[in-house]
Structure 1
Amino acid sequence: MTTSQRALIFDMDGTIVDNMAFHTKSWLEFFQRRGHVIDPDAFFLDTAGRQGHEIMRSYLGDDVDHVTLNAEKEALYRELYAPHLATVPGFDALIAKAAAAGVKLVVGTAAPNENIVFTLDGLDLRSKFDAIVGAGDVARGKPNPDVFLAGAAKVGVLPADCIVFEDAPLGVEAARRAGMRAVVLTTTLPASAFAQFDNVICIAADFAELDLDALFASTPAMATPI
Structure 2
Amino acid sequence: MKAIIFDMDGVIADTERAYLEACNKLLKKFGIEVNKDDWFNRYPGTGTTYILSTIFKENNIKPSEGLEYWLEKWKTEYSKFVKNGKIKPVKGFLEFNKHINALGIKKIIATGSHKKNAYLVLKTFGIEKEFEIVGLEDVTEGKPNPEIFLEAAKRIGYSPENCVVFEDAVVGVQAAKAAGMECVAMTTSMPEEVLRQENPDWLVKDYTELEVEKIV
Q: TM-score, normalised by structure 1?
A: 0.84
Q: 1:63 to 1:139 in 2, by over 3 A?
A: farther
Q: Quick check: 1:16–1:91 contact (8 Å CA) kept in 2? A: yes
Q: Which AA in structure 1 matches 2:34? A: I
Partner of 2:210: 210
Q: TM-score, normalised by structure 2?
A: 0.87
RMSD: 2.0
Residue 46 of structure 2 aligns to a residue whose secondary structure is: coil
Q: Quick check: 1:89–1:207 contact (8 Å CA) kept in 2? A: yes
Q: Quick check: 1:28–1:40 contact (8 Å CA) kept in 2? A: no
Q: Quick check: 1:45–1:168 contact (8 Å CA) kept in 2? A: no
Q: Quick check: 2:168–2:190 contact (8 Å CA) kept in 1? A: yes
Q: Which AA in structure 2 matches 1:101? A: L
Q: Quick check: 1:24–1:44 contact (8 Å CA) kept in 2? A: no
In 2, the alpha carbon distance for the partners of 1:195 and 1:204 equals 10
1:128 partnered with 2:130: yes
Partner of 2:173: 172
Q: 1:22 to 1:13 in 2, by over 3 A?
A: same
Residue 8 of structure 1 aligns to a residue whose secondary structure is: strand
Residue 116 of structure 2 aligns to a residue whose secondary structure is: helix
Q: Which of 13, 17, 22 pairs up with 1:17?
A: 13
Q: Quick check: 2:44–2:189 contact (8 Å CA) kept in 1? A: no
Following superposition, the deviation at residue 85 of structure 1 comes to: 2.6
Q: Which of 82, 98, 113 pairs up with 2:115?
A: 113
Q: Quick check: 1:51–1:140 contact (8 Å CA) kept in 2? A: no
Partner of 1:47: 43
Query: Which deviates more, 163-172 or 77-86?
Result: 77-86
Q: Quick check: 1:112–1:135 contact (8 Å CA) kept in 2? A: yes
Deviations 1:198-218 (A, max 9, x none): 2x12222221221011123xx
In 2, the alpha carbon distance for the partners of 1:60 and 1:14 equals 24
Q: Quick check: 1:184–1:203 contact (8 Å CA) kept in 2? A: yes
In 1, the alpha carbon distance for the partners of 2:34 and 2:95 equals 38
Q: Quick check: 2:185–2:204 contact (8 Å CA) kept in 1? A: yes
Residue 67 of structure 1 aligns to a residue whose secondary structure is: helix
After the TM superposition, which segments of 4 or more aligned residues of structure 1 sit over 3 Å from their partners? 61-64
Partner of 1:222: none
Residue 126 of structure 1 aligns to a residue whose secondary structure is: coil
In 1, the alpha carbon distance for the partners of 2:196 and 2:119 equals 33
In 2, the alpha carbon distance for the partners of 1:113 and 1:67 equals 16
Give the 5 Å matches for 1:130-169. Answer: 131-169=132-170
Partner of 2:92: 90
Unaligned runs of 5+ in 2: none
Partner of 1:221: none
The share of aligned pairs that are identical, in percent, is 29
Q: Which AA in structure 1 matches 2:133? A: I
Following superposition, the deviation at residue 63 of structure 1 comes to: 6.0
